[in-house]
Amino acid sequence: MNASVESMIHVSDELVFNLSNDSISYIFRVSPEGILEHIHFGSRVAPSSGLSAEPRRAFRCTVLEYQGVKNYNLDDTPQEYPLFGTSDMRHPALHLINAQGNTTNILLYKSHRISSDKPALNGLPSSRGGDSQTLVVCLVDTVSKLEVELNYTVYREHDVIARSSSIKNVGENAVCLKTAMSSALDLPQGDYELVHFRGSWAREFEQERMPMPHGRFAIESARGTSSNAHNPFLAVMNKGTDEQYGDVYATALMYSGNFAITAEKNEFESVRICAGINPFNFQWKLESGESFSTPESLQVFSAAGLGGMSQVWHAFIKQHVSPSQFKDVPRPTYLNSWEAAYFDVSHEVVLGLADQAKEMGAQMLVLDDGWFAGRNDDTTSLGDWFSDEKKFPQGVEETARQVKEKGLKFGLWFEPEMVNKESQLYRDHPEWLIQVPERTLSTGRGQNVLDLSRSDVVEYLFERVDSFLSSGLIDYVKWDINRVFSECGSLQLPAERQLEQPHRYMLGLYELVERITSKYPNVLFENCASGGNRFDLGMLRFMSQGWVSDMCDPVGRLSIINGASHLFPLSVLASYIGPVPNHQNGRVTSVKMRKEVGFFAAARGLSLNEDDLSADKKELQDAVALYNETAHDMVSGEFHRLRFTKNEVCWQLISQDKQRVYVGYYHILSSPNLPYRRIKLAGLAADETYRMVSTGATYGGDALTSLGIDLPHVDVVLHQQHSDNSDYMDEGDFSSRLMVFERV
Ligand code: GLA
């Protein structure tokens, strides 16, 4: 072990483990009984601080004493990986039916090791190590014959602790896992609030904030994808925390399937946050000698409010989660065929769109749905990943070649995990569907889900996608999934393993995307699931960006981007200017508003038909030119939320080199005689000077951050009398202003 390893993980003779970087610490200890007790997660506490490490033990009436140890009640003891069955009445991190048929298991400290190489997780995505150290703590249950390893990775540059666990059956008989969480965190008594993101199709990432109740609060998915109903993210924070102030403890899972993140406040008011695979409808048979690895859970602490928390996530995801080859690489602007032609695509249509893309100044043409064998609407052909011979007689590859000859990149849409019953694939392999015997299967968008827990399915899909990518003509893939799972089961699994199918599916999916994305590292992959129905760190570990929502009306999009930005950096967000009236909510907005809301994403483009493109040609060309000019700043810059109310949103991005600052201000419904608004910018150097590009006015960084700037005044009436004054926004409803500052 070298000196730098010791500098981040310190283990005292009394077995107090202190994982610290310059700003945060994660501390726990081994109790005299051998139980792993949690001590602290939060601002840095040096190993030498002389902290009193022992959780308090005091007499209470009616509570249990663990193994009869005086005043030692696990229900009131913060722990690292709690179990059920002795004196802790809360939901545990591990719940397992042992070979004796009971669920009383006790894990005691056995050993630990420290490594500067972050170990990969068995078949699951995990964050890259880099400048980090990993502590592995081994626990044993000699009666239930279990060995459990808890992994903790601490990063020097990021206030993140990455956690996972692995459970091994070292007995002779099988055991049955019911709950195997990735992490548990017991916070001390406090006045906490929760923030999480809920939603549905086309209204993903709506923020919900509430006081932490007594009892158990859960966000979860049992529908196969992590889902748009609840993103696998939960922040617990001190009451009153805002964008700048307050302690935040946030958890996000690197998992794309059935997950649960729970927060439980018990009678003694400590709060236990557990994150991992959803225990509901889950069971895993662990034979003698077998191990089970949990997904990775990432825990962030910020003492600087939700804004501070987001800065930690953004930097970490860019550095340790997103594929590194596209880090800081400007994303090409594009024209997508979906809202331009829907299923009516063909060689000629695509070449026509390519010409229009060129004329608009875009850099890529994306051929969305409708290009494969017999796909004329959404009722057929998923699974038959062969070019439609009528629409593309020489194959999609030839169309791609001709598009690229025009100087554009070429992108292609796939929905590999799905099958329509009206397809050759289904006729050949009805056994490849997720299904349970003797039940009529539910459908979603007329389609069924392929059983990726089967290696033959994974192999087929790899071969099909590979057959297109191997042409070397495809620069970008949009990987979609448009329904969730039902009647979950696999014809290949025995009865006692049927509940393993959803997690085995994820292992198959991760194997598939790992093989494809690693074989084609220069292809840009975009994760999509009817928009944000699987927008999570698991998929974004393989794919550089994601289609966060099908909602491309700018007003509908404001809260989606605002919500998503709590966890995700702009580098993983894709957006496009869509048609009006908007196809999802019928709203009519200006190109300006659509351009200026869509501005805050790394991957930007257009999804418009020929008429739309020619009607607003000049404005759209200007929009694409702006997107091209700012592409590098969007993928690499630092994003801040400045204001978010029902009627007003203000965002800011500072370029990586700190030379340019973009401020987007959006005002939804106008009214007369409004109060004047100011906004304080974030993250600027106090002693630098910035020039507002549109007016030429200069401001000190100190003034912009401490006094702020006047926001343009929304007033239709006054503006008519002062029409030369740029202090006004006169668009009425749905108005916006993008302000650009350059460092002088
Ligand atoms: C999903 C996606 C859309 C589009 C269609 C194609 O709905 O979110 O962007 O690709 O599928 O069928």
Which tens digits make up the pLDDT trace of 373-400?
999 999 999 999 999 999 999 999 999 9
pLDDT at res. 724? 55
The CATH number covering residue 549 comes to 3.20.20.70
The CATH number covering residue 32 comes to 2.70.98.60
Concatenate the DSSP letters of all residues of 449-492 into one string. Answer: EB-TTSHHHHHHHHHHHHHHHTTS---EEEE-------S---TT
User: Based on the domain organization, do 539 and 680 belong to the same domain?
Assistant: no
Average pLDDT over residues 222-228: 98
Instruction: Assess contact for 660 and 654: CB atoms under 8 A.
Output: yes
Average pLDDT over residues 164-179: 98
Domain end (from 636, 661, 681): 636
Q: How far apart are CA 168 and CA 507, in angstroms?
A: 18
The verdict on pTM exceeding 0.95 is: yes
Residue 256: partners with Cβ closer than 8 Å, 6 or more residues away:
225, 226, 506, 509, 510, 534, 536, 538, 539
Average pLDDT over residues 312-333: 97
pLDDT tens by residue, 662-682: 999 999 999 888 899 999 999
User: Based on the domain organization, do 330 and 306 belong to the same domain?
Assistant: no
User: Based on the domain organization, do 433 and 543 belong to the same domain?
Assistant: yes
Residue 499 CA to ligand 1 center (angstroms) comes to: 30
Pocket test for ligand 1, best of 375, 413, 418 (most atoms within 8 A of CB): 413
Q: Residue whose CA is closest, atom 1 of ligand 1?
A: 530
User: Within a domain: residue 1?
Assistant: no
Active site residue 13: no
What is the dihedral sign for C-alpha 728, 730, 734, 739? negative
pLDDT at res. 1? 42
Q: Which domain holds residue 515?
A: 325-636
pLDDT at res. 720? 63
Active site residue 377: no
**Which atom, in ligand 1's list, is nearest to the CA of 478?**
10
Number of domains in the chain: 3
Which pLDDT band holds residue 726 (cuts at 50, 70, 90)?
low
Q: Residue whose CA is closest, atom 2 of ligand 1?
A: 530
**Helix, strand, coil share (%) of the chain residues, nearest 5:** 25, 30, 45
Which pLDDT band holds residue 481 (cuts at 50, 70, 90)?
very high
User: Based on the domain organization, do 27 and 77 belong to the same domain?
Assistant: yes
**Which atom, in ligand 1's list, is nearest to the CA of 547?**
8
User: Within a domain: residue 431?
Assistant: yes
Question: 614: phi > 0 → left, psi -120 to 50 → alpha, else beta; which?
Answer: alpha
User: Based on the domain organization, do 274 and 243 belong to the same domain?
Assistant: yes
CB atoms under 10 Å from CB of 659, counted, come to 14
Q: Residue whose CA is closest, atom 6 of ligand 1?
A: 369
Which pLDDT band holds residue 728 (cuts at 50, 70, 90)?
confident
User: Based on the domain organization, do 549 and 563 belong to the same domain?
Assistant: yes
User: Based on the domain organization, do 574 and 676 belong to the same domain?
Assistant: no
Which one of the listed residues 76, 388, 475, 550 is annotated catalytic?
A: 550
User: Within a domain: residue 3?
Assistant: no
What is the dihedral sign for C-alpha 356, 359, 365, 368? negative
User: Within a domain: residue 141?
Assistant: yes
Strands of the 16-20 sheet, one edge to the other: 9-11, 16-20, 24-30, 36-43
Average pLDDT over residues 155-166: 98
User: Based on the domain organization, do 570 and 664 belong to the same domain?
Assistant: no
pLDDT tens by residue, 638-657: 999 999 999 999 999 999 99
Q: Does residue 2 have a pLDDT over 80?
A: no
Quick one: tokens of 302?
């910020």
Query: Strand, coil or helix: what is 322?
Result: coil
Average pLDDT over residues 285-307: 98
Average pLDDT, the chain: 96
Residue 584 CA to ligand 1 center (angstroms) comes to: 12
pLDDT at res. 721? 65
User: Within a domain: residue 527?
Assistant: yes
Q: Residue whose CA is closest, atom 7 of ligand 1?
A: 530
Q: Does residue 359 have a pLDDT over 50?
A: yes
User: Based on the domain organization, do 161 and 268 belong to the same domain?
Assistant: yes
Pocket test for ligand 1, best of 372, 382, 482 (most atoms within 8 A of CB): 482
pLDDT tens by residue, 115-128: 999 999 999 999 99
Domain end (from 321, 350, 379): 321
Average pLDDT over residues 20-46: 97
In DSSP terms, 176 is beta-bridged to 97, 285
User: Based on the domain organization, do 298 and 365 belong to the same domain?
Assistant: no
Cis peptide before 581 (omega within 30 of 0): yes
User: Within a domain: residue 2?
Assistant: no
Residue 504 CA to ligand 1 center (angstroms) comes to: 26
- pLDDT exceeding 70 applies to what percent of the chain? 98
Domain end (from 608, 636, 664): 636
The CATH number covering residue 683 comes to 2.60.40.1180
Q: Where are the beta strands (DSSP E) in 549-613?
A: 573-577, 603-606
pLDDT at res. 715? 79
Report which DSSP code applies to 317.
I
CA–chain centroid gap for 11, Å, is 33
User: Based on the domain organization, do 392 and 286 belong to the same domain?
Assistant: no
Q: Residue whose CA is closest, atom 8 of ligand 1?
A: 530
**Which atom, in ligand 1's list, is nearest to the CA of 528?**
8
Pocket test for ligand 1, best of 545, 550, 582 (most atoms within 8 A of CB): 550
Concatenate the DSSP letters of all residues of 597-652 into one string. Answer: HHTSSSEEEE---HHHHHHTHHHHHHHHHHHHHTHHHHHHSEEEEEEE-SSEEEEE
Which one of the listed residues 75, 186, 475, 480 is annotated catalytic?
A: 480
Closest CA to 428 of 493, 384, 363: 384
Which residues have any ligand 1 atom within 6 Å of their CB?
Answer: 338, 368-369, 413, 480, 482, 528, 530-531, 547, 550
- 17 membership: H or E segment, kind and range: strand 16-20
Q: Does residue 263 have a pLDDT over 70?
A: yes
Average pLDDT over residues 420-442: 98
User: Within a domain: residue 4?
Assistant: no
Which pLDDT band holds residue 157 (cuts at 50, 70, 90)?
very high
**Which atom, in ligand 1's list, is nearest to the CA of 368?**
10
Pocket test for ligand 1, best of 415, 483, 530 (most atoms within 8 A of CB): 530
Which pLDDT band holds residue 339 (cuts at 50, 70, 90)?
confident
Q: Does residue 719 have a pLDDT over 70?
A: no
Neighbour-count burial of 3, counting CB atoms closer than 10 A to its CB (0-12 exposed, 13-18 middle, 19+ buried): exposed
User: Based on the domain organization, do 591 and 656 belong to the same domain?
Assistant: no
User: Within a domain: residue 682?
Assistant: yes
Residue 44 CA to ligand 1 center (angstroms) comes to: 46
What is the dihedral sign for C-alpha 630, 635, 637, 641? positive
Which pLDDT band holds residue 713 (cuts at 50, 70, 90)?
confident
Residue 556 CA to ligand 1 center (angstroms) comes to: 17
